[in-house]
Structure 1
């Protein structure tokens, strides 16, 4: 049996036969199709997947990628949506262990607090794979590999764009920051990477920074607060994901400013809606974080089942988008 942690590419395939409700907290079971001819009986691999929630377009695309890839690979998928609750993730993991699944995948809602449950899984003989978001654990034997994005590098990419874009603009350059879920690895690492770059210029100053939980509504509400407090001073907004940036754009327009001009907007993810805003000139720069990693996860599951070793860290290949390149990418965007 194999345990797989999951959280940041959707293989192009038709929807599998499945019991699939909407992005609620209900269990989803995706069952592999029966082979067309009778051969030697072989039990399909069963994967238990604990998704952290459905808070954004990115997360929903990530979930669909996992479901489609599992069906195409012939892997039976038990899918649980934890609705942003670590306790619900613990419950799902224990239920997967009781059902004797072969693999458990987790998209961890926060970094900390995982070692006790991982030890339970290890005692049950189930290896671990982390995907997208990382967990902060001291015992490296509790997992096999991590598959996902380099959030720290995403933050650095955002900082490098700002440094170059504002090269000829005199300071001070005052920055507002919309952070994701408190304690989550993308929030922590994107913030750190961004700061490590902008500190190269002394007149870059982050004057406002709050958690908006990766949601459109959170981004709108926190940006409204920022504008009430220091609206005339904000020159740049760094949002840790597209959904928060989309909400912030609404607030900026209502305040009477022009997003992309009066306030420079930098975001992370690369969703279709974000690229539309980028092409329209309301975003200035988007760092890609690819949610479509279902095929990579299924390949890892199969390789571990076959007894193969994997590197400890597998980082997804990702790019960046500017106003000049957004329109070219839009026809290819599936989420």
Structure 2
């Protein structure tokens, strides 16, 4: 029987605990062991296998996220199977299908794009395997197409970046925006939050907005081309992540500008290289986007496993780093 009618019934009632019980009954593995898999599991429960569909491992943030999940899985006694979509949506769909074929008990999914993953979510639902979205959202209904979303408030991140830039520039700036993966929820939300704030300040003008694909090399290349075209009109850069900001710093230096002086730069992520750039005076500030999903992901898996109520969204608290505190946190950054 399809799970859709049951999902809709429980959603109308506002209850997710009953919703997750049906998938769990169908996906629990047979085990010849019987020992507790982790310290907080009841004796006799079998060891669970968690699948993690990572969208790519091409930057420090992604690598830190995967490392956090691996560490927490080992700590709690779970087996973690990690796939790498290599920044390709079609491969990510295939990766999820592969995890389903391996009969994992639950899937953590870091979507490359907001749209395009419906076949993967449908396949998991048909197999009665619950899916938890991590760090990016995907098209679908919580509690029906997936259990919940774990991540940051990306709109708020964009707002915080804009508020800092308005203050630093006195409300007047010619801005270059380096955006993230086209079609991703995070890029759309970070752009929206930023625009929500600068719309209130007529002197803040976006001169150019181009994707750097969350890549340092692409950010540098795009910034180099824009700098050649717009020259001294550029007085500020807003990058959707630190990697693109670091690339932009290199491009601006090469064009004869002084990052941090001639051009104010703000970004999002909070990686160590960004905090070091703040200490050097090149990067003005970065809004943290915490990659350490291990604890919250496995706490949520435990809730699913026990049939407890799961909120449709769990947000991570992010800090803000600038010249007043970067030195304090650089040692613990990823």
Relative to the length of structure 2, the TM-score reads 0.85
Q: Is the 8 A contact 1:112 1:135 kept in 2?
A: yes
C-alpha deviation, 1:159, in angstroms? 0.9
Task: State how 1:50-69 maps to structure 2 within 5 Å.
Answer: 50-69=53-72
Counterparts of residues 1-335 of structure 1 (less than 5 Å): 42-138=45-141, 141-167=144-170, 171=172, 173-333=173-333, 335=334
The alpha-carbon distance between structure 1 residues 92 and 251, as it changes in their structure 2 partners (threshold 3 A), is: same
Query: Does structure 2 retain, via aligned residues, the 8 Å contact 1:180–1:213?
Result: yes
Is the CA contact 1:114–1:137 (under 8 Å) kept in the aligned structure 2?
no
CA shift at 1:33, angstroms? Answer: 11
> Match of 1:297, SS?
helix
Question: Structure 1 residues 108-117 or 58-67, which shifts more?
Answer: 108-117
Measured in 1, the distance between the counterparts of 2:322 and 2:111 equals 30
Contact 1:47–1:101 under 8 Å retained in 2: yes
CA shift, 1:140, in A, is 5.0
Q: CA deviation at 1:127?
A: 2.0
Structure 2, gaps ≥5 residues long: 1-34
Name the SS for the 2:232 alignment partner: coil
The secondary structure found in structure 2 opposite 1:191 is helix
Structure with more helix by fraction: 2
Aligned pair count reads 298
Shift of 1:61: 0.6
Is this contact kept in 2: 1:212–1:218, CA < 8 A? yes
Q: Per-residue deviation at 1:34?
A: 8.6
Q: Give SS of 1:210's match.
A: strand
Tell me the SS of whatever aligns to 2:133. strand
Counterpart contact for 1:272–1:330, Cα < 8 Å: yes
Q: Distance in 2 between matches of 1:40 and 1:296?
A: 23
Q: Using the alignment, how far apart are the partners of 1:33 and 1:281 within structure 2?
A: 51
The runs of 5 or more residues in structure 1 that have no matched partner are 1-31
Q: Report SS of the residue matched to 1:209.
A: strand
- C-alpha deviations, 1:69-93, integer Å up to 9, x for none? 1111111011101100111111111
* CA spacing shift, 1:117–1:34, aligned 2, 3 Å: closer
- TM-score (ref. length: structure 1): 0.85
Q: Distance in 1 between matches of 2:43 and 2:191?
A: 53
Decide whether the 8 Å contact of 2:93 with 2:119 is kept in 1. Answer: no
CA contact (8 A) 1:218 1:247 kept: yes
Contact 2:268 2:287 in 1 (8 A): yes
Label 1:50 to 1:57 Cα distance change in 2 as closer, same or farther (>3 A): same
How far does residue 116 in structure 1 lie from its aligned partner after superposition?
A: 3.0
The one-character-per-residue Cα deviations of 1:237-296 (angstroms, maximum 9, x if unpaired) are 000000011111111111111101100000100000000000111011110000011111
Q: Is the 1:279–1:324 contact (alpha carbons within 8 Å) kept by the matching residues of 2?
A: no
CA shift for structure 1 position 138: 5.0
- Which whole-Å CA distance do the structure 2 matches of 1:40 and 1:155 have between them? 46
| Residue 331 (structure 1) shift | 2.3
Listed one character per residue, the Cα deviations across residues 173-201 of structure 1 (whole Å, up to 9, x for unaligned) are 21001111111111110001000100101
Question: For the residues of structure 2 that align with 1:79 and 1:127, how far apart are their CA atoms?
Answer: 16
Q: Distance in 2 between matches of 1:144 and 1:138?
A: 9
